[in-house]
Structure 1
């Protein structure tokens, strides 16, 4: 939103909201009003406050009463509308005028951000400015910059941190452009080269929040959907990644020819759609109606002469409701946002097939957000009716992990029962146009059945029926599954590749049992040397990490073995494939070779070494449904993601160097030298506990488990096993495994390489 508009330099092109921003020297938004003592300038959006666990949601307004309307009544109206903070609208008022505004805010129980032109001055001027204000009880923070261009970010970050250095309890306020402000931003990568750049320049630990403009209600009656949801999702994801609160401006005014005046229902939608994307600090633009020489504003909440408009009462009621819902949201993360209906916005994601809930009527236009409390692991759903004109009484179906659904009252914030029926797994909710509701869920891990697919439990090599077959898993090793459910095993100490059909019958696909070598050929004429992992493509070809041969081998369905690349990658350990790009990815078991290195290999044998920002100690690797690589670090006991565009890594779960067996959210969870990894059709991650560090004789029973990492929440739960080793079939609540080193997933089936039990287990 462009708020600072000089009359003489900027042509009228809807610049108040930053719609067609082609300018860089905006300084002043003027008001035509009686008895104004000074020209008002440098109008900036308000601070949104430092938020911490247990804090209530604070709501702000931009454009408080102009100075000549600084009366206790006008400020009390703001407070009565359930607003917590307002905005000092001028950087050029006298100090005495500013202090009188702060005094009035304090009398009304409000806070303010101070806008003072000295923020653009020298260090001494900034210090003098803060000395003048920082002890006033109504001061919440200081305006730094509204809508910096990319070239202005560094200066804004410097001044931001100067304010923090003087008084870290105050808020330095910077508000970012929306992505559609291409006149100011150009064609840059909005997420990485603007928003993320801002985070990096200030420092994620220093940022109080990320704030941006985002206005969807256009003059011609349309809704700017693509950019609206895109920008909300950008700051949602980056806020989650860097643990930074987010803020957004909610449209409550129009500009003739550019933006329409929102209706009551559109006000409601603006509020709840922002909350659904995890916004913790909603701020209304604008409370007081501006007057301008060239731009014609519609009435906002208060008209230009200080009278309440027809939006004031619904605005007041809506803010009270937002606080009741928002108080629950303050400690939650919006871990995923989905859309339902016949017209999913470009760039948005539809509701996954097996998600926690979905509408029975899939044509309903809804936002369905997944929230999580990262401390308690409590899960929530927020549902927003995207219709701006029609109420819906919608029925919803839950998946088999949900055993109860409640709802949060907007009157008092209490948690109440819905009409959830466990026998049908359904509940319903009435949603007004634009309305959102928050639903706490009771979620459990459903019980499954564990059986033995193959293996007698005796070490050796024997093909045949399920109960007779023998394997030799002397150390950590891997497995894979093809497109029809056949399982393939890297039988490491037998130096061969085994195949298990859907009935559990075992055969040797390639390799001569017990014979070490490095020979291409067919079936038993081909030789391997401690093959450790494999991956199967959609044609049934098996690619093998032939570890001690430093090779990648290919086996056709007929058992014909060729070498893709040999004697180049030191001890390749984990392997996965991207068939679309025709690339194979490997990690090494040799610490000196795996030090920040990831090996990318074409199926034709061309090798590229990728450098990562973290050390890798062997373990498993897989490709998820979004195209990221998921790696289990066996040495440091973490699971992390690799972005193949930037090659940046991000820890998903576990804490580096901290080993154990603890379920929890993300870095709160603990693993004990895990090994294998796989993803299901919904992109949930499964990790084999292993309990054995590569090249270390010690084994730890705490790794006798299979864990699941939820795709949205990074919530780690135990699917099978626990901290004790054993061999028990039955339900997953009682079944035991003994240091499993890999898993493979086919449809709803999970295959487990149960290393110390020398068996392949099936979870159904």
Structure 2
């Protein structure tokens, strides 16, 4: 969630120092919670079929807050849900207590675990480090009684913990033994000079590193319903939030929020100026709905391939944000000239090499002319428009924030 950390962000922006990340030197094969299609979650509460219909037509296939008796409606629309129960998840600022939560979890599992629309159990949003031992007891219970279901916990962004964030990620991995990492960060410092700090890129580096270390998939929760002083959603900033997550190896995306209004649960405060989410305060579709539907279609057209890829390396061309890496001798690409790009190397489960390239500019389109380290390889493109592998050519350009997924043969 997203209330506490925004209040203190301004102070942290002035005080926090940035530190580089050591290169991750090994591979993992994430075992995703479900997924035959790429999971796209509305980080929102839903209790009407009208909203479910709007979500389904937009390409949403998962909802973060579903009351148990609404699972049947979710199933009708082909959407899965993370069960929310006030007794389990508490209120926003309350500390997690497993002695209170676990009897509720046992009851929910006994009653609903076999429901075809059930994806997981919503435990806690943005826990503090001291809450992790209690959360661990509930995560262990879900894994024991409901294997394959997600004991859902979403983590704070990096700027809340400063130099202690990587320790927080480590403790979540070692104490809680989760089934996935999930986090949110809405800071909009996507474009920075060489060696300059960026909370956006740093957080991706840190969570990717933790997911590799603990051999877990990670999810990024991105902003789709601006509030406070966040910028309205545009095609460019929506693309960079999504494709940056994918190039770093994310195995799921969540969208905060789908409705331009505060959550009606968790005693969530009314933030007042929600605007430009996919649905407005009256439940009408906005231009963001169309932008998000377009992106969700693209994701699914490359998503089946993405779910079979494991992240090997991520590196930047042009300006390299602090804590990130430039191209190295073991990378699949030697260079991507004529712009600012970030690239991610992947290995498919069939052993083939893949690479994603993302245009980091929010203003300019750029040609994509990758120079391969192995010049004997041929390049195929997994088309985000057609969902098919096709020949790649050097006339191909990327719009601001856009990415392209390539297979090397």
What TM-score bracket applies, with the shorter chain setting the length? 0.7 to 0.9
RMSD: 2.6
CA drift of 1:272 comes to: 0.6
Task: Name structure 2 gaps, 5 residues minimum.
Answer: 13-30, 89-96, 263-268
> How does the TM-score come out when normalised to structure 2?
0.83
Structure 2 SS opposite 1:142: strand
In 1, Cα distance between equivalents of 2:51 and 2:77: 9
Query: Which residue, out of 33, 37, 40, partners 1:50?
Result: 33
In 2, Cα distance between equivalents of 1:49 and 1:21: 36
In 2, Cα distance between equivalents of 1:57 and 1:110: 12
CA separation of 1:361 and 1:171: change in aligned 2, threshold 3 A: closer
In 2, Cα distance between equivalents of 1:242 and 1:201: 12
Match of residue 148 from structure 1: 127
In 2, Cα distance between equivalents of 1:395 and 1:225: 28
Match of residue 349 from structure 1: 325
Task: Assess if the C-alpha contact under 8 Å between 1:250 and 1:270 holds in 2.
Answer: yes
Task: Assess if the C-alpha contact under 8 Å between 1:407 and 1:417 holds in 2.
Answer: yes
Higher helix share: 2
CA drift of 1:188 comes to: 4.5
Match of residue 113 from structure 1: 82
Query: Which residue, out of 258, 262, 267, partners 1:287?
Result: 258
CA separation of 1:296 and 1:360: change in aligned 2, threshold 3 A: closer
CA separation of 1:307 and 1:128: change in aligned 2, threshold 3 A: same
Match of residue 82 from structure 1: 59
Structure 1 SS opposite 2:259: coil
Match of residue 336 from structure 1: 313
CA separation of 1:290 and 1:100: change in aligned 2, threshold 3 A: same
CA separation of 1:385 and 1:225: change in aligned 2, threshold 3 A: farther
Q: Deviations over 1:406-451 (max 9, x none)?
A: 11111332111123xxxxxxx4531011100011012xxxxxxxxx
In 2, Cα distance between equivalents of 1:169 and 1:361: 44
In 2, Cα distance between equivalents of 1:146 and 1:122: 14
Structure 1 SS opposite 2:254: strand
Of the two, which has the highest radius of gyration? 1
Are positions 1:372 and 2:347 aligned together?
A: yes
In 1, Cα distance between equivalents of 2:406 and 2:135: 39
Match of residue 22 from structure 2: none
Match of residue 60 from structure 1: 41
Match of residue 271 from structure 1: 242
In 2, Cα distance between equivalents of 1:125 and 1:366: 47
Task: Assess if the C-alpha contact under 8 Å between 1:217 and 1:262 holds in 2.
Answer: no
Match of residue 369 from structure 2: 395
In 2, Cα distance between equivalents of 1:21 and 1:133: 43
CA drift of 1:328 comes to: 0.6
Higher strand share: 1
In 2, Cα distance between equivalents of 1:49 and 1:86: 17
CA drift of 1:302 comes to: 0.6
Match of residue 199 from structure 2: 227
Are positions 1:103 and 2:82 aligned together?
A: no
Match of residue 118 from structure 2: 139
Q: Deviations over 1:362-383 (max 9, x none)?
A: 6x1111111112x432111100
Match of residue 208 from structure 2: 236
In 2, Cα distance between equivalents of 1:332 and 1:354: 18
Query: Which residue, out of 211, 221, 227, partners 1:249?
Result: 221
CA drift of 1:225 comes to: 6.1
Between the two proteins, the alignment pairs up a number of residues equal to 372
Q: Deviations over 1:651-675 (max 9, x none)?
A: xxxxxxxxxxxxxxxxxxxxxxxxx
Q: Deviations over 1:501-522 (max 9, x none)?
A: xxxxxxxxxxxxxxxxxxxxxx
Task: Assess if the C-alpha contact under 8 Å between 2:279 and 2:285 holds in 1.
Answer: yes
> How does the TM-score come out when normalised to structure 1?
0.46
Task: Assess if the C-alpha contact under 8 Å between 2:132 and 2:176 holds in 1.
Answer: no
